[in-house]
Structure 1
Amino acid sequence: MRPDKRQAILRGALSVFARDGYSRASIDGIAKEAEVSTRTLYNHFADKAELFRAVIQASADEVAQDQIQLIERHFHKITDLQQDLVEFGRAMGAQQGHAEHFALVRQINAELTHIPAEAVEAWLDRGPRKVRKALADELGELGFKDPARAAIHLLLLTLTGDPAVRGSRPSDDDIAAGVQVFLHGHDVENPATAAT
């Protein structure tokens, strides 16, 4: 299996799946986008489901790596917990790149019942769950009593905009308010760290 051909297929498939979704994407369309023959594509992947799983895993790995690096940068310099969490929320929301990945995630959410469950689980394990675990580990180090739950709440309160508008981002004021609500709702064992 030539790595350059495989990478071309994965890149082309990401573009097509992000644009068309899983159900509407065709093997012929993916082969055309990747500039390979359909036969070449089938030499690398047994079917569309296997290709989709490989695409979402590779894409989730790349995004998770960037997000975990961002988490580590922000949490290894905490001095004012409230303000530093606001800065973290702003940085997560402003993270550039990966537009096709997040378009693909929107497609997954839109047609969840039509996508093979093992592909969805692979994406969750390699992406969102991995990032949440990294965040929970950092929150645990800061003294949060239930870091796994705290990680979910922090992400929801700082990355979610208007729930009526899918994909909207919160304003800076909304992020600050979200952090305030987050800190009010979660016990921190080291109150000196949480003081502002």
Structure 2
Amino acid sequence: MTERKKPAGQPDKRRAIVAGALTLFARDGYTRASQDAIAAAAGVSNRTIYNHFTDKAELFQTVIQESTQRVADTMVDIIDRHLGKVVDLEADLIDFGLAWLGVLTSDLAPHFALIRQINAEMEHIPEAALKLWQENGPGRTRRELAERLRRIAKRGDLAIDDPVRAAGHLMLLISADNLTDRAALHDQDALRAMVTAGVHTFLYGYRRLATR
């Protein structure tokens, strides 16, 4: 992508453009979000958008990059906070799962709406943006979680041959009901029950392997 010189002294306008674009892309998807609508949401002119970004594809990639970075940083912090020093494995995994799913209804929620739009129109998304999201978002958080599980397994609490696969299992299990009933995310009792069931299933499989 050709490097463009961005106007000096306009960081607020750039932030407004990226924020407005995130809102529109999350609501309408990449294909349907028009530059006119993005300009209106950001409170700037089309010309101002072109002063900062070559086209919609570059703007979309920037939105993906910055939004993914914020979410991944948050997820990695949750991993470190809850699994960095494990005292009670089951309790710590449940607390981790609750914090992990809590991000979905936090102020980072627009990112996940954007990801749902990406999954719905995958064939229309610029390949560079897809690779950036997959590597720096799901890929990064899964690798970080895998490393924590590897350390837990090393001390003898779990038997894990493939930490990356185990991390994928844990992420899926703690959010299983969310795949069909997103309302569970807003019901604390349902959320805890979902996460607890997922953690029990995860531990049953991996701890069972450890006792064979």
Instruction: State TM-score, norm by structure 2.
Output: 0.82
Q: Which moved more, 1:2-11 or 1:166-175?
A: 166-175
Distance (whole Å) between structure 2 residues aligned to residue 188 and residue 42 of structure 1? 58
Hey, what does 1:194 align to over in structure 2? none
Distance (whole Å) between structure 2 residues aligned to residue 139 and residue 188 of structure 1? 16
**Which 4+ stretches in 1 moved above 3 angstroms?**
162-171, 187-191
Equivalent AA in structure 1 for residue 193 of structure 2: D
Alignment of 1:66 with 2:86, yes or no, is no
Describe the SS at the equivalent of 2:202: helix
Q: Which has the higher contact order (CA 8 A, sep 6+)?
A: 1
Aligned match for 1:105, one of 88, 102, 115: 115
In structure 2, stretches of 5+ residues that fail to align are: 1-5, 154-159
Equivalenced residues, count: 191
Hey, what does 2:202 align to over in structure 1? 182
Contact 2:175 2:198 in 1 (8 A): no
| Identical positions, percent | 48
Alpha carbons of 1:36 and 1:188: their partners in 2 closer, same or farther (altered >3 Å)? farther
Alignment of 1:81 with 2:97, yes or no, is no
RMSD between aligned residues: 2.2
Aligned match for 2:175, one of 145, 155, 159: 159
Hey, what does 2:64 align to over in structure 1? 56
Q: Which moved more, 1:47-56 or 1:105-114?
A: 105-114
CA deviations on 1:121-171 (whole Å, 9 max, x unpaired) are: 111112111111111111111123311111111000002315444685463
Contact 1:137 1:147 in 2 (8 A): yes
In structure 1, stretches of 5+ residues that fail to align are: 192-196
Instruction: State TM-score, norm by structure 1.
Output: 0.88
Contact 1:161 1:167 in 2 (8 A): no
Q: How is 1:24-63 mapped onto 2 (pairs within 5 angstroms)?
A: 24-63=32-71
Distance (whole Å) between structure 2 residues aligned to residue 119 and residue 111 of structure 1? 13
